């Protein structure tokens, strides 16, 4: 059943109440209806676990009261006044002669007063609460004209056959182009190049520019990472690389541009970056995303890249005589377009021809600190010209090839609806295309996310469904029992029919993925990422058969929390998912006595039924009736000292733990372990670099506290501190992906799923008598990703059957759990978070 985007989003607004992330308004900002945070304890309302940041579409754009949504039917221009921030002399853009963040809103406000072609609105907020701006350049439109454009945009996705036959659409549909700038905060010039384009087109008297905006809408998110722009950091204020977050969308900055992408449905998009020495313009090298309609992408991407190369060549700078086009100029694997974590690669699944552009001359990091200001500003001026030229050239390409681009976006969605096979692409389809470029997939007919006893975790299933819907993947709910592949599924099970317009994205999210280790010698970033295997829900694949059942389109997953009927019985909760952990930490915060049995199950007394009911409702968890003889050890709300990465810190806090970040320097400066129950170590803590006094205090903690480590850094700490007798073996540093694991002999991770994630994998051999393998790599461990042997021969064959996670008690009585896997990587493998909690609760008990 096809349901239009506008209807789906209206349903979403009615179906779900979503709590926005806490926003910190920069000091001194001039308020104009900035949204309030949710208040209360942050983890209780945290979306990235309970619903993975999924936002009902009708409330996606977190605008101020004065700003309209991009998706409404108000005409253009939309003359809204942006709130203006106080001057910040410490803004790192100033040194480069570029536009500081506080100057952007005044510039856009002034342009809106001068021009009826420019509109600016707020489409979200950064981690620290700064406004994320969307600028739209187009000729004035009446509300009726804008509504017509919106209907055509939806028709292209919802009924591409009808769209292909609509002659008026072919003549009058405005080609949407989206420019995203400054997603990496210390890659500044894309913002300034974008602002230059806005200024020129908003005020130009050239007939060609006027005609361009009559046939085109240009959308520009002028800074996707304002916190990083101000501070001069690649990451956002939470420490996340936003350009690695589009599949998972944990960050407000990535969610904002995800929603811009879905709402605007661009034909062409450019993501402006830096700095690669020579301007770099995608398309990328193999491996190419196997779920793309690559024939429709590459013919435009390659020609558009050549046009951008010509444009920078005309600038006259010595440094811009040519560009690097990875597809043409690099070896396979050097700059691939395999994972959908990058903005342009993610946008391809929504029907866009996406490009990363890297401006050439480095001005960040060491150069920012060491080069003379004059040289920095010279370089930034060249980079700004490159950003302007590439944006302008891409817009020109979209205008010149408007008809073909519209036809090909329609064709992308038509193939999805029809369930047609991908096209075989012949050698020479574009210059240089050959066998090494062929990556494709046989799409399954459907995925089924079971309800009832066949579902490993109801909260995980609901989170996954909400995440899919937020990404414009169509999900439906079965209205009665059905059978697929000989298996029975109850009413309420979810169906993801791959006969849908964005089947490529649905399959990229849910499929197991592919082992590409033998295809290319290296990869630019991660190579495996399956939400179907790593997010904690049971997801079944139907290769050839569509479920024969009446279904209802889903705007939001149904509620999952429940308690048994017996009001006087104690309640039991299994730690299967991160949502279960959130419920436990919430109950502990409420002063509820929770006990932990030897099997890891948690018991809540019947007297706390009302608090349990609130937890069930808030986190969607399922309590069962505890056995009459259920006993256990009282559980304390754990306080964690953590030497971990930013993503791990976000996960731990999202689970509701009280986390105190530490490092070598912090311990040497006198960090107080008072009240800490568990120490987590993955990075930033070098035991050998501790002072004698810091080691003494650490040893005093280890007499009573527990330790959880992750990866090579954690294993090195374990060895230096003399905790568990286990030899850590390190795989290749860039090896990564989804791995199969088996249960070990321990009892700490009893409910661990059958798959895990690795990056720089570690395994443990030579286990002492006090050490138990909690989990082992399977005999053929790599399911999807890229894992080659290291120079010393350590690869997946050597890891097979070896311990991936171990536990034990040291000679001094310290409980410890060592992870060789990556259970919290980039806040992505959400089905593994309960393992971390199990380890924390066990070591801290």
Residue 22 has pLDDT above 80, yes or no: no
Q: Which of 33-37, 665-669, 754-758 has the weakest average pLDDT?
A: 33-37
Q: How confident is the model at residue 400 (pLDDT cuts 50, 70, 90)?
A: very high
More reliable by pLDDT, 399 or 41: 399
- The question of whether 411 is a catalytic residue gets the answer yes
Provide the pLDDT for residue 28: 36
Q: What CA–CA distances, in Å, run from 97 to 91, 195, 363, 384, 657?
A: 11, 14, 11, 11, 43
Give me the mean pLDDT over the 149-175 stretch: 98
Q: Of 55, 57, 48, whose CA–CA distance to 535 is shortest? A: 48
> Looking at residue 52, what is its pLDDT?
37
Beta carbons within 10 angstroms of residue 30's beta carbon: 11
CA distance 378 to 109: 28
pLDDT one-digit tens code per residue, 547-562: 999 999 999 999 999 9
- What pLDDT, on the 0 to 100 scale, is given for residue 751? 86
Mean pLDDT of the region 67-75: 55
For residue 517, give every residue at least 6 positions away whose Cβ sits within 8 Å of its Cβ, in sequence order, or none.
Answer: 782, 785, 786, 787, 788, 796
Q: How confident is the model at residue 344 (pLDDT cuts 50, 70, 90)?
A: very high
Task: Give the per-residue pLDDT at 845.
Answer: 79
Q: What's the confidence (pLDDT) of residue 585? A: 97
pLDDT range class, residue 54, cuts 50, 70, 90: very low
Q: Which of 25-29, 32-36, 384-388, 612-616 has the lowest mean pLDDT?
A: 32-36
- The torsion defined by the Cα of 579, 581, 586 and 588, in degrees rounded to 10, comes to 160
Residue with tokens 């977190």: 62
pLDDT band at 7 (very low <50, low <70, confident <90, very high): low
476, 494 in Cβ contact below 8 A?
Answer: yes
Crossing angle for the helix pair 833-843 and 578-589, to the nearest 10 degrees: 40
Average pLDDT of the residues in 39-52: 31
CATH class given for the domain over 639-843: alpha beta
Residue of 358, 411, 611, 730 marked active site: 411
What was the pLDDT predicted at 3? Answer: 55
| DSSP state, residue 622 | B
Express as a percent the part of the chain with pLDDT over 90.
88
Lowest pLDDT segment from 532-541, 602-611, 747-756, 814-823:
747-756
The confidence score (pLDDT) of residue 6 equals 52
pLDDT value at 480 more than 90: yes
Are 360 and 277 contacting, i.e. CB atoms less than 8 angstroms apart? yes
Q: What is the pLDDT of residue 67?
A: 41
pLDDT at 4: 55
Residue (of 180, 223, 219, 504) closest to 354 by Cα position: 180
Q: pLDDT band at residue 20, thresholds of 50, 70 and 90?
A: very low
Look up residue 198 and give its two tokens.
């806005």
pLDDT on residue 601: 86
| pLDDT reported for residue 731 | 98
| Domain 571-634 grouped into CATH 3.30.70 | yes
Task: Give the pLDDT mean for 259-273.
Answer: 98
Query: What token pair was written down for 603?
Result: 């018991």
What integer pLDDT is reported at residue 170 of this predicted model?
98
The percent of residues in the chain predicted with pLDDT above 70, rounded, is 91
End-to-end CA distance of the chain: 52
Tell me what pLDDT residue 47 has: 33
The whole-angstrom distance between residue 432's C-alpha and the CA centroid of its chain comes to 32
Confidence of residue 750 (pLDDT cuts 50, 70, 90): confident
Mean pLDDT of the chain: 92
Specify the pLDDT at position 5.
Answer: 52
- CA-wise closest residue to 344 among 357, 330, 359: 357
Checking if the pLDDT of 61 tops 60, the result is no
**Is beta strand 762-765 parallel, antiparallel or unpaired with respect to 727-730?**
antiparallel
Cα 617 to Cα 599, 746, 804, distances in angstroms:
25, 33, 35
Higher pLDDT, 630 or 747: 747
Domain boundaries along the sequence of the chain: 1-23+47-59+441-559, 62-418, 571-634, 639-843
Predicted local confidence at residue 600, as pLDDT: 79
For residue 9, give every residue at least 6 positions away whose Cβ sits within 8 Å of its Cβ, in sequence order, or none: 56, 57, 58, 60, 71, 555
pLDDT digits (tens, 9 = 90+) for 584-613: 999 999 999 999 987 778 999 999 999 999
Write the pLDDT tens digit of every residue in 623-672: 999 988 777 889 988 899 999 999 999 999 999 999 999 999 999 999 99
Q: State the pLDDT at residue 725.
A: 98
Look up the CATH number of domain 62-418.
3.40.630.10
Q: What is the mean pLDDT of residues 364-383?
A: 98
In the predicted structure, residue 72 carries a pLDDT above the cut 90: no
Per-residue confidence at 282, pLDDT binned at 50, 70, 90?
very high
Banded model confidence at residue 42, pLDDT cuts 50, 70, 90:
very low
Instruction: Annotate 226-258 with DSSP letters as a single string.
Output: HHHHHHT-SS-TTS--GGG-TTT--SHHHHHHH
Structure-derived torsion over alpha carbons of residues 518, 519, 520, 526, reported in degrees to the nearest 10: -90
Report the candidate in 670, 741, 748 with the shortest Cα–Cα distance to residue 708. 748
Summarize the confidence of residues 86-100 as an average pLDDT. 98
Q: What angle in degrees, to the nearest 10, is found between the helix axes of 189-203 and 101-114?
A: 10
Judged on CB neighbours under 10 Å (0-12, 13-18, 19+), 247 is: buried
Average pLDDT over residues 209-231: 98
């Amino acid at each position: 059943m096809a349901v239009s985007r506008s209807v789906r989003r209206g349903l979403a607004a009615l179906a779900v109440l979503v709590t926005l992330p806490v926003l910190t308004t920069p000091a001194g900002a001039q308020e104009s209806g900035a949204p309030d945070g949710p208040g209360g304890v942050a983890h209780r309302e945290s979306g990235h676990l309970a619903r993975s940041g999924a936002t009902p579409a009708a409330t996606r754009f977190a605008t101020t009261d004065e700003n309209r949504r991009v998706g409404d039917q108000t005409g253009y221009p939309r003359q809204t006044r942006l709130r203006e921030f106080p001057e910040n002399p410490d803004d790192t853009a100033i040194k480069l002669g570029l536009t500081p963040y506080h100057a952007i809103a005044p510039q856009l406000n002034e342009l809106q007063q001068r021009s009826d072609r420019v509109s600016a609105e707020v489409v979200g907020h950064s981690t620290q609460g700064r406004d994320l701006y969307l600028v739209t350049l187009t000729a004035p439109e009446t509300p009726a004209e804008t509504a017509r454009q919106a209907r055509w945009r939806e028709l292209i996705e919802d009924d591409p056959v009808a769209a292909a036959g609509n002659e008026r659409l072919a003549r009058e549909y405005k080609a949407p182009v989206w420019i995203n700038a400054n997603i990496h905060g210390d890659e500044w010039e894309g913002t300034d190049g974008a602002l230059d384009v806005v200024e020129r087109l908003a005020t130009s008297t050239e007939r060609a520019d006027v005609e361009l905006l009559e046939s085109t809408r240009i959308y520009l998110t002028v800074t996707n990472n304002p916190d990083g722009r101000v501070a001069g950091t690649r990451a956002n204020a939470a420490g996340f690389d936003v350009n690695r977050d589009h599949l998972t969308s944990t960050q407000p900055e990535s969610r904002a541009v995800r929603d811009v992408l879905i709402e605007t449905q661009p034909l062409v998009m450019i993501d402006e970056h830096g700095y690669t020495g020579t301007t770099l313009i995608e398309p990328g090298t193999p491996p190419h995303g196997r779920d793309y309609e690559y024939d429709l992408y590459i013919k435009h991407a390659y020609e558009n890249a050549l046009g951008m190369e010509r444009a920078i060549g005309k600038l006259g700078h010595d440094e811009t005589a040519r560009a690097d086009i990875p597809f043409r100029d690099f070896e396979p694997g050097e700059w691939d377009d395999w994972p959908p974590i990058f903005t342009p690669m993610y946008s391809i699944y929504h029907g866009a021809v996406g490009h990363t552009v890297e401006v050439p001359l480095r001005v960040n990091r060491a150069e920012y600190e060491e080069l003379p200001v004059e040289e920095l500003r010279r370089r930034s001026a060249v980079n700004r010209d490159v950003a302007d030229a590439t944006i302008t050239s891409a817009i020109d390409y979209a205008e010149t090839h408007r008809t073909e681009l519209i036809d090909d976006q329609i064709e992308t969605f038509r193939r999805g609806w029809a369930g047609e096979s991908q096209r075989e692409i012949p050698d020479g389809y574009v210059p240089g295309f050959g066998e090494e470029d062929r990556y494709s997939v046989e799409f399954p007919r459907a995925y089924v996310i079971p309800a009832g006893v066949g579902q490993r975790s109801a909260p995980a299933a609901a989170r996954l469904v909400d995440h899919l819907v937020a990404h414009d993947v169509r999900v439906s709910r079965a209205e009665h029992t059905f059978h697929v592949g000989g298996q029975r599924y109850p009413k309420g099970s979810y169906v993801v029919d791959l006969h849908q317009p964005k089947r490529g994205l649905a399959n990229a999210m849910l499929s197991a993925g592919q082992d590409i280790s033998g295809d290319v010698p290296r990869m630019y970033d991660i190579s495996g990422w399956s939400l179907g295997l790593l997010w904690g829900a049971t997801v079944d694949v139907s290769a050839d058969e569509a479920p024969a059942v009446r279904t209802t389109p889903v705007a939001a997953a149904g509620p999952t929390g429940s308690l048994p009927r017996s009001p006087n019985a104690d309640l039991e909760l299994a730690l299967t998912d991160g949502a279960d952990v959130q419920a436990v930490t919430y109950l502990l915060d409420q002063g509820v006595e929770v006990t932990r049995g030897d099997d890891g199950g948690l018991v809540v007394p019947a007297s706390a039924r009302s608090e349990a009911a609130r937890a069930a409702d808030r986190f969607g968890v399922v309590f069962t009736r505890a056995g009459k003889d259920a006993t256990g050890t009282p559980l304390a709300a754990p306080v964690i000292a953590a030497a971990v990465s930013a993503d791990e810190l976000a996960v731990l806090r999202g689970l509701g733990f009280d986390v105190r970040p530490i490092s070598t320097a912090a311990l040497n400066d006198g960090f107080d372990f008072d009240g800490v129950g568990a120490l987590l170590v993955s990075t930033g803590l070098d035991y050998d670099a501790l002072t004698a006094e810091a080691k003494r205090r650490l040893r005093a903690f280890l007499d009573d506290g527990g330790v959880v480590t992750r990866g090579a850094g954690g294993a090195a700490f374990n060895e230096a501190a003399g905790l568990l007798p286990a030899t850590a073996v390190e795989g290749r540093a860039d090896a990564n992906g989804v791995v199969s694991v088996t249960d070990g002999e321990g009892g700490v991770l009893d409910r661990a799923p059958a798959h895990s994630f690795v990056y720089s994998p570690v395994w443990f051999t030579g286990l002492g008598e006090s050490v138990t393998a909690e989990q082992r790599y399977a005999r053929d461990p790599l399911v999807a990703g890229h894992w080659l042997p290291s120079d010393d021969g350590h690869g997946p064959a050597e890891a097979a059957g070896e311990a991936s996670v171990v536990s034990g008690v040291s000679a001094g009585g310290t409980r410890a759990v060592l992870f060789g896997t990556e259970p919290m990587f980039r806040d992505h493998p959400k089905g593994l978070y309960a393992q971390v909690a199990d380890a924390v609760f066990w070591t801290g008990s």
